[in-house]
Amino acid sequence: MIDKYPDIFSKIADFLKTRDDFLVTPHFAPDGDAIASSLGMAEMLKAMGKRCLVSIEAGLPEKYDFLKTGVRIFNPKTEESENKFRNAIILDAGSFERIGLTKKLLDVEINILNIDHHLSNDRFGHVNYIDGEACSTSEILYYLARYLKLDFTKELADYLYMGIMTDTGCFRFSNTSGRALRAAAELVDLGVNPSYMADCIYFDAPKQYISVLAKCLSSLQYFSEGRIALMQYMEKEEIEDAEGLIDIAIGTRGVRAAAFIRPMEDGRFKVSLRARDRIDVRAIAEQYGGGGHAKAAGFRYRGTLTELQERIIRELSEKLDA
């Protein structure tokens, strides 16, 4: 439990209690938290005796099949509906545009409850609750369900745990807080099996991904006394979770900066950069018209591969020796 709930919870409670029919939707290309918070909200509304439809552009991604959700999920890419909703709960979406095709389900007279944990959220709702301290939208819903004194079904506990677990990278990312861990603990007390959830999410890599991973790892080369790692994947297919791949390179002992090079359709190269410590790779990315953060940035490059490799190694070395 937390000591004090945010004041706005009473306004959110009003929004939910004074209405009967809701559309619930996350952002398109939904991640674990977006899915979890939408399914969780549907369970919460059910517990409150309300009706709702969950809409997810392109439906539930295959990866989440294990949830065996009893909640019907509307796919606006393949389905049509005459029904227009006047009340929408939009979850984990930084802007209204991010709900994608689900927009077609909204009435012109629409009331929006907007709940998110990204501070960059542009507050597009009629009621907005943006909590940048929360690790995930699912964490917000956990405390909201507590505030509303709802009974937690096993499904509700599972969904919210999955959202917290996936958005913190299984309690590894910097958004892992005492509050997040406490919510996770209480959800386990409510019946979640944490190792089962972790197995479903983290021990389920597609064979294709493992094959790409093998090629990327085989390509690894080290420079500047092992402080720079260079990874390449030269096949012209789109790869899933490129972030996870370069994270292995930057997570290798002794490595302070890493680059991942892939070819693009138009003959250019796509470069992702990562840094540990105080090295700023955004500055390098910006020189080539790219951008990002100090520790994770990227750019596109036109030229030869050898020239690109030499430039990356030289510029990262200079940063490391500065």
Interface ranges with a copy of itself (CB under 8 A)? 165, 170-182, 184-186, 188-189, 194-195, 198-199, 202-207, 210-211, 213-215, 217-218, 220, 222, 226, 247-248, 250-254
* C-alpha distance from residue 192 to each of 34, 125, 183, 188, 195 (Å): 19, 32, 12, 4, 9
CB of 181 to a copy of itself, least distance (A): 4
Pick 113 or 157: Cβ nearer a copy of itself: 157
Task: Return the structure tokens found at 249.
Answer: 């390179």
Pick 6 or 169: Cβ nearer a copy of itself: 169
Q: Quick one: which of 85, 160, 76 has its CA closest to 115?
A: 160
- Tell me the C-alpha distance between 200 and 273, whole Å: 30
Q: Inter-axis angle of helices 32-47 and 137-147, to 10 degrees?
A: 20
CB of 131 to a copy of itself, least distance (A): 17
CB of 43 to a copy of itself, least distance (A): 20
Residues 48, 49, 50, 51, CA torsion sign: positive
Pick 44 or 216: Cβ nearer a copy of itself: 216
Q: Coil, strand or helix: which one is 111? A: strand
CB of 219 to a copy of itself, least distance (A): 8
- Tell me the C-alpha distance between 95 and 120, whole Å: 9
CB of 238 to a copy of itself, least distance (A): 18
Element (H, E) at 272: strand 269-275
Task: Return the structure tokens found at 292.
Answer: 């990002």
Pick 70 or 202: Cβ nearer a copy of itself: 202
Element (H, E) at 11: helix 8-17
Pick 249 or 271: Cβ nearer a copy of itself: 249
CB of 222 to a copy of itself, least distance (A): 7
- Tell me the C-alpha distance between 164 and 58, whole Å: 23
Pick 42 or 135: Cβ nearer a copy of itself: 135
